Amino acid sequence: MRATFMFGAGDVRVLDAPDPTIQLPTDALVRVTRSCVCGSDLHPYHSMPPTDAGSTMGHEFIGVVEAVGADVRTLRPGDFVIAPFAISCGVCEFCRAGLQTSCVNGGFWNDPSIGAAGGQAEAVRVPLADGTLVKVPGVTEDTDDALLGSLLTLSDVYGTGWHAAVKGGVSAGTSVTVIGDGAVGLLAVLSAKQLGAERIVLMGRHDVRTRLGVELGATDVVAERGDEGIAAVRDLTGGGSQVVLEAVGHMPAYDQAVGVVRPGGVISRVGVPQYEDAPVGFGSLFGPNVTLTGGPAPVRAYIEQLLPAVLDGTVDPGRVFDRTVSLDDTPAGYAAMDAREALKVMVTP
Amino acid sequence: MRATFMFGAGDVRVLDAPDPTIQLPTDALVRVTRSCVCGSDLHPYHSMPPTDAGSTMGHEFIGVVEAVGADVRTLRPGDFVIAPFAISCGVCEFCRAGLQTSCVNGGFWNDPSIGAAGGQAEAVRVPLADGTLVKVPGVTEDTDDALLGSLLTLSDVYGTGWHAAVKGGVSAGTSVTVIGDGAVGLLAVLSAKQLGAERIVLMGRHDVRTRLGVELGATDVVAERGDEGIAAVRDLTGGGSQVVLEAVGHMPAYDQAVGVVRPGGVISRVGVPQYEDAPVGFGSLFGPNVTLTGGPAPVRAYIEQLLPAVLDGTVDPGRVFDRTVSLDDTPAGYAAMDAREALKVMVTP
């Protein structure tokens, strides 16, 4: 089959790779219908040291089950499935508590320790298939593209935006600021709107994206950054936002979150931090009793809840896809996202 | 009157000072019945640069109202009152929300900007008296010492331990680890117990204190620190504590909190951080979806709720006081706490 590999910063190639096979009785084989490139794929695209071996890529895909191991109970060949970005057993303490990203038996795609390759490929071996995959009745490979795109966002970006809003405690009437106009930030806007937020300030400076953000529910857009951006949000919200959803992961976004949050408020982070240390002392979080929460989204916990509104068209999170490439053109997809010519790139095998 | 001043690290003196007077119509004058020395008073006791002017000291006291300004509505001379460690107006957005430490009109004792001197004195001018003070009917200066001590803890340490537990989300069945066996840590144990925690691990290495901790509700004591202490708690709790109450404020206590918290859990800090930056990235908080919360306790918000069980003797938080000194001996009280000969020192004028 064809599969995507990264050999170093900026070096993405689509190559022939061995067809995946069932290796454990809890495995499934999934033929990929759609996959995509994630903002977080751009981190290694910027920084990965050159390597001869290469890493498989992709952690978001939807597809059709081709075969299952002897112990798989909930899936059969032909089932249409969504694959969350974390592999999870479904039975450990953390899976039962809805924190599948901390599954004690699971792991992540492209991690050789669990033997799972990436989703930017024609097919994928799925470990712990019962715990990992979510079956979607009534959908096939021939379902219309818009709906397939929305289902694909449930692999990661929609569930991640939702996680930000849930952990932030967004509810009816909350004032929310979303930092970042990437796919996760925009779907954090959608999620906050769904959860009843009254005011949703989107901090972002890419016109096309913030316009989509307004369509998804943002009530205000602040294009300024740094102190100017902080002042603008504090002014708009009368002294700071009760909830801040941080969907970037870089240090300036953290500083912005601390700057715009209201005393007693919550900063909920879902952008993967590109830093380890950050201010948390009296002058930042402690003094004003600000709560810092968030982490990798256990999207598996949210898919069943979010699915009905996607299937009936109430929400259309797939609008974050603004470009589609064939699998062999995946490298061009990375380049387009890196150059910010594309917001999020879908890959068709 | 006599009042306590600090002139630099280790230099505490009790001197004659002008009697306080009503300066604004919202002021009250309170004659101090009991005050005390706080663990946080030891921070300047270690580090304050020498100064000729000196700072007044003390932010915890109970006493009797001697006079009120023309606009004070809820208090009369003769009322017995508890003074929280934060001065608050009672009417701003944050006071109404129970976050009096962020009051937009208030401030703290010993802060010249609000003109409030300290409680380690014979009398105190209380700004914003209606919002700040809590009247306790039925109590007088002649009430027995044990009850006065317990009422005095509502000025700070009991409310602070309670805040830790509340912000940590402690409820029936929670597994809790408390870091620190000072007065706040011990009353965080009591608070966690009152809120229904099932397992309460107390990390502390001062025998007398941890024994009191066990009497107040700790189910286990871990005396080890660092990696050894973390391993012990993780072992006791089967992989980490759902809630960690950090009642120290030094960096090693933060590291310990990160080490013992369970994925998806909460670290609630009430020890005033003696650091600004700390690990919050993928390897500490983000990866396991750990929430960091807490801050200066709005004890004003908790006093009415905690008072009945104090008054009827159900709880006895005043047990944290293990030494009493006269006002003129306050410097000896600082020295005893600094040498860890005393857990918490009460001051009688």
pLDDT of residue A90: 97
pLDDT for res B114: 87
Instruction: Indicate yes or no: CB of A292 within 8 angstroms of CB of B287.
Output: no
Instruction: Work out the pLDDT band at A58, boundaries 50, 70, 90.
Output: very high
Domain at A2-156+299-348: CATH code: 3.90.180.10
Domain ranges of chain B: 2-156+299-348, 160-294
Contacts of B168 in chain A (CB under 8 A): none
Long-range Cβ pairs for the range B255-260 (8 Å, 24+): B255/B279, B256/B179, B256/B203, B256/B225, B256/B226, B256/B229, B256/B230, B257/B179, B258/B284, B258/B285, B258/B290, B259/B227, B259/B229, B259/B230, B259/B233, B259/B234, B260/B177, B260/B179, B260/B203, B260/B229, B260/B230, B260/B233, B260/B234
Q: For A318-342, what is the mean pLDDT?
A: 97
> What per-residue confidence (pLDDT) applies to A161?
98
pLDDT attached to residue A207: 95
Residue A80: its H or E element? strand A80-83
Instruction: Please tell me the predicted confidence (pLDDT) of residue B112.
Output: 83
B105 at interface of A, judged by CB pairs closer than 8 A: no
For residue B292, give the nearest of A263, A275, A280 by CB distance: A280
- Give the count of Cβ contacts less than 8 A between chain A and B: 108
DSSP structural state of residue B143: S
The pLDDT tens digits for A273-308 are 999 999 999 999 999 999 999 999 999 999 999 999
pLDDT one-digit tens code per residue, A167-204: 999 999 999 999 999 999 999 999 999 999 999 999 99
Tell me what pLDDT residue B115 has.
82
What's the ipTM? Answer: 0.96
- Tens digits of per-residue pLDDT, A223-281? 999 999 999 999 999 999 999 999 999 999 999 999 999 999 999 999 999 999 999 99
CA–chain centroid gap for B18, Å, is 28
d(CA A268, CA A245): 5
Question: Is the pLDDT assigned to residue A115 strictly greater than 90?
Answer: no
Q: Mutating which of B242, B267, B268, B282 best tests the A interface, going by the most A Cβ atoms within 10 A? A: B282
User: What CA–CA distance (Å, rounded) separates B114 from A203?
Assistant: 36
CATH number of A160-294, picked from 3.40.630.30, 3.40.50.1240, 2.60.120.470, 3.40.50.720? 3.40.50.720
Low-confidence ranges of chain B (pLDDT < 50): none
Which chain A residue is nearest to residue B249, measuring alpha carbons? Answer: A281
B92 part of contact set with chain A, CB < 8 Å:
no
